[in-house]
């Protein structure tokens, strides 16, 4: 399904009965809504599940390639309004987590719960901004294959390469299918994102923080700092997983997610 917006079409999917409590998943960079397939299929029995492709990813239009996290929040709200969702639980990974935090801070009345996966509240450091600039230069030089391999190496835990080759290829395919325009525009948006650390103490909805034990991009320390700042939050460490904990150890991830949703009647 597609939602027409001024900036182009947004692809989205729904699963389950709309009469049930809802949960909306926001994928990370540079992936698409299919990264949530296992979670969506699991929860569709007793939830109304929404997944969507962020601008330039999956089947959504790349548009101008000029993005900001604020625009991603606009898209979340547009989808909710299109589907008639007055309130929903948000679950975001990495870039999806940045978007979820900003959405909850901007329009808290719209959200019933929050799941922050392999993400952090702080903005890019100068070193990280330079790294993104170098990644953009790699793409502009026509070396997408080099960009893809570097991304995969940074994202996944060593055990994933050894025993979960299907996930490695799945991740590779998602990155390769994302256009250079979208990759570059998204990296600029990520490097320009707000510092959300100060907003964490304002979060009042039930919150779960999930992090892969071997995540080198958004670390255990980053997750612990969010956990300490968000009153009443829970934190789960997923073993044998890097930055993509929901794909690298789906069993542990799903168990933590289901337990949280059930405990908080979400």
pLDDT exceeds cutoff 90 at 63: no
Read off the pLDDT band of 7 (50, 70, 90): confident
Alpha helices in the chain (DSSP H): 37-43, 69-83, 95-106, 126-140, 144-155, 158-163, 165-176, 180-191, 220-229, 245-248, 250-263
Q: What CATH number is attached to the domain comprising 195?
A: 3.40.50.1820
**How confident is the model over 144-169, as pLDDT tens digits?**
999 999 999 999 999 999 999 999 99
Question: What is the residue range of 110's domain?
Answer: 2-263
Q: Which helix (H) or strand (E) holds 33?
A: none
Number of domains in the chain: 1
User: What average pLDDT score do residues 227-240 get?
Assistant: 98
User: What average pLDDT score do residues 192-212 get?
Assistant: 97
**How confident is the model over 80-125, as pLDDT tens digits?**
999 999 999 999 999 999 999 999 999 999 999 999 999 999 999 9
**How confident is the model over 34-59, as pLDDT tens digits?**
999 999 999 999 999 999 999 999 99
Q: How far is CA 159 from CA 155, 217, 239, in A?
A: 12, 16, 10
pLDDT exceeds cutoff 90 at 8: no
């Amino acid at each position: 399904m597609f939602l027409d917006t001024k900036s182009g079409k947004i692809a989205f999917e729904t699963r389950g009965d709309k009469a049930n409590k809802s949960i909306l998943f926001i994928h990370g960079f540079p992936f698409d809504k299919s990264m949530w397939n296992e979670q969506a299929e699991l929860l569709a029995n007793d939830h109304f599940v929404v997944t969507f492709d962020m601008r330039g990813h999956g089947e959504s239009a790349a548009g101008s390639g000029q993005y900001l996290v604020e625009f991603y929040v606009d898209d979340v709200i547009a989808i909710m309004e299109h589907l008639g969702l007055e309130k929903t639980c948000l679950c975001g990974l990495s870039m999806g987590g940045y978007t979820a935090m900003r959405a909850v801070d901007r329009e808290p009345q719209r959200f019933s719960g929050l799941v922050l996966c392999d993400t952090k509240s702080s903005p890019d450091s100068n070193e990280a901004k330079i790294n993104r600039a170098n990644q953009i230069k790699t793409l502009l030089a026509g070396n997408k294959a080099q960009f893809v391999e570097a991304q995969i190496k940074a994202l996944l835990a060593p055990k994933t390469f050894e025993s979960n080759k299907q996930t490695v290829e799945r991740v590779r395919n998602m990155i390769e299918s994302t256009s250079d325009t979208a990759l570059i525009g998204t990296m600029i948006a990520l490097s320009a994102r707000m510092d959300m650390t100060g907003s964490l103490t304002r979060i009042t909805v039930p919150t779960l923080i999930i992090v892969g034990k071997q995540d080198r991009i958004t670390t255990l320390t980053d997750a612990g700092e969010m956990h300490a700042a968000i009153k009443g939050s829970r934190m789960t460490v997923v073993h044998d997983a890097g930055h993509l904990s929901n794909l690298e150890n789906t069993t542990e991830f799903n168990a933590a997610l289901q337990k949280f949703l059930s405990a908080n009647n979400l």
